[in-house]
Structure 1
Amino acid sequence: MPTQWTINLATPVDLSAQPYHDHLHAFACGFFQEGDEAHHADDKPFTARLQGPPDKCAGVILSWLPDTPPPATGIPQRLRFGAHWCEVTEARIQRIPLERLTDSVPARRVRLMVTTPAKFRQHGRDYPLPDPYLIYSTLARRFRSAGGQATDDDVRELSRTALLYAHNIHTEPYTWHGARSAGFLGTISLGLPRTAPPGVSRLFATLNGFMVIAGLGHGTTHGLGSTELLQQ
């Protein structure tokens, strides 16, 4: 089951004026004791996100996704984001059973808030739009890598039939790896047609719950694609 650490800071820090994504990624790699080879891998078994918006960062949330024991880790006394050193006051750990991901997620329609820039990689290019096919096909691949169970037929059917019902998004630029890029921020409403089979509906709810832990799209180890579930 995924394991999640919430690391609180003594005082909120404003990271909005500097590119923090690479610093967050470096901290997460060090926390999970990833070597140089794993540091540059495309698919990593963890995600990282800020607690709160960048201008009022209150901490860091790290998630180890596989259904295997996480590496032995030590909670640091301070975190570094560029020129900022932040004192750590508290750290909490929780385990999240994959079978409980659907407990609070609707089976047919969901409304999500994307709180940090989200994008996908499509044909070698950045694609900063909430395409349902890309959302659920990439989530299913990562869910399976984490030990989740999903049949090929259900994954194909979900990716093919999921609908984007509404959105209120805008493009948000950001900097990582020394380059400028952009993703989308805002609310999106996703759902299934009434004819969707029960297995597909269950997978839809499961992957939406998993999205809150794993993030959305490309770059979730850098704090990109953070999402929250909203009430309908």
Structure 2
Amino acid sequence: MPYTWTLRLRAAAPREQQVTPAQLHALACTLLEGAAIDHHSQTKPFSVTPLMGAPDAPGCALLALGWLDDSTTPPLDKRLGEQVRLGGQFFTVEDAHVTGAPYAALRTLPPSRRVTMDFLSVTYFTRKGRWIPLPDPELLYAGLARRWNTYAGIPIPDGLITALREAVLLAAHEVRSAPAEIGQGHRIGFLGQASFTLLRTVDTEVLAAFTALSRFAECAGVGAQTTHGLGWTTVTTLERGRGAADKQPSRRDRYRPARRQPVGLDSGASQTGRSQTQKGIM
């Protein structure tokens, strides 16, 4: 079952500090220690978001971890009271809240022919050794299908994945380029919003796979380096049979946490490319 754990972290000495993708990755690995992760594998069973603000808890930050492995469950609730390190700061884990839905439930969601994704941290894709700083629908859904089949007990057949890749279209987008600092270098990715749809001729199996993988994106992240805070995505679906005026998030409260801005960023900052080297809230 794909889970999203949302942790509330209290700073030992509140102050502003830059938070890098490498530091987010190190914190995620610390929190998930003992969860049978192959750190040398190209595909890993988790994703992590940037730090998020906790407006109701001054001096705290929120961090969300997506867990993809259908066979194990990391006991993050047992981390309560523990102290963890993020860069040069120490935090105490004050609270851990989990949401999720079984892979089988994602496969039976009401079908959506159009989805809108908000890319809240820098996102990019790779192909043949090159990075692609655009919301390419084929690369996006192929990557989600690969992660799904690696960790789900119910894989999506290769033929169905091929049919989906051939049918998915980029319907609209409003994105801009943004850099992501990754230690010894940087990548150019994008931030913003994009909508995806399907050819009208697709059958119900393709429609169901499109809907399931779109929802899965909120837990798995999209694109490269989702274990470093990149590719953080929220999804809004337009269920089949609804008109544009009826567009609304589908089962939002059940399947994903409420959207929050990265820590240290104002409401428009996610469009400026600052979301990958962020200031701590403290």
Q: TM-score range by the shorter chain?
A: 0.7 to 0.9
Q: Identity over aligned residues, as a percent?
A: 33
Q: Does 1:67 align with 2:73?
A: no
Q: 1:220 to 1:158 in 2, by over 3 A?
A: same
Q: Deviations over 1:101-129 (max 9, x none)?
A: 36766520001100001111111111111
Distance 2:34 2:116 in 1: 34
Find the partner of 2:148 among 140, 143, 147: 143
Cα distance in 2 between the residues matched to 1:59 and 1:130: 27
Distance (Å, rounded) in 2 between the aligned partners of 1:149 and 1:110: 22
C-alpha distance in 2 between matches for 1:211 and 1:160:
19
Q: 1:166 aligns with which of 166, 172, 180?
A: 172
Instruction: Give the equivalent residue in structure 2 for 1:182.
Output: 188
Give the Cα separation in 1 of the matches to 2:83 and 2:64. Answer: 15
Which residue number in structure 1 is paired with residue 56 of structure 2?
Answer: none
After superposition, where does 1:81-100 map in structure 2 within 5 Å?
81-100=86-105
The one of 106, 123, 129 aligned to 2:128? 123
State the distance in 2 between where 1:57 and 1:230 align.
Answer: 28
CA shift digits 1:29-55 (9 cap, x unpaired): 2222269x93243111111113537xx
Partner of 2:28: 28
Gaps of 5+ in 1: none
The answer to whether residue 227 in structure 2 is matched with residue 221 in structure 1 is: yes
Closer/same/farther in 2, CA of residues 111 and 69 from structure 1, 3 Å limit: same
> Match for residue 7 of structure 2?
7
Bigger CA drift: 176-185 or 80-89? 80-89
Flag structure 2 segments of 5+ consecutive residues without an equivalent: 54-58, 238-246, 248-282
Count of residue correspondences: 228
Q: Is the 8 A contact 2:134 2:189 kept in 1?
A: yes
Q: Which 4+ stretches in 1 moved above 3 angstroms?
A: 71-74, 102-106
Compare CA radii of gyration and give the structure with the larger one.
2
The structure in which a higher percent of residues are strand is: 1
Maintained 8 Å contact 1:174/1:182: yes
CA contact (8 A) 1:102 1:209 kept: no
Contact map agreement 1:50 1:58 (CA 8 A) in 2: no
Read off the aligned partner of 1:177 and give its amino acid letter.
G
After superposition, the CA RMSD in angstroms is: 2.7
User: Which of 133, 153, 156 is equivalent to 2:159?
Assistant: 153
* Deviation readout 1:205-227 (Å, 9 max, x if unpaired): 00001011100011001111011
User: Normalized against structure 2, the TM-score is what?
Assistant: 0.72
3-state SS of paired residue (2:224): coil
SS in structure 2 at match of 1:38? coil
Superimposed CA distance per residue, residues 52-100 of structure 1 (whole angstroms, 9 cap, x where no aligned partner): 37xx983111122011023555416333221222333211234421122
